[in-house]
Amino acid sequence: MTDEILKIIGPRLKEAVNFSNSNIANKQEQRT
């Protein structure tokens, strides 16, 4: 059951992390 949840949430979690990281990078670029 846990493995199934991880398979579903895993990719979305990676996308969320990548999205937040890109947003932080964009904000830092705008400040400069």
**For residue 9, is pLDDT > 90?**
yes
Residue 32's pLDDT band, with cuts at 50, 70 and 90, is low
Q: Where are the domains of the chain?
A: 1-32
What token pair was written down for 10? 């895993």
CA pair distance 20, 26, nearest whole angstrom: 10
**What pLDDT is stored for residue 29 in this prediction?**
83
Q: What is the pTM of this model?
A: 0.58
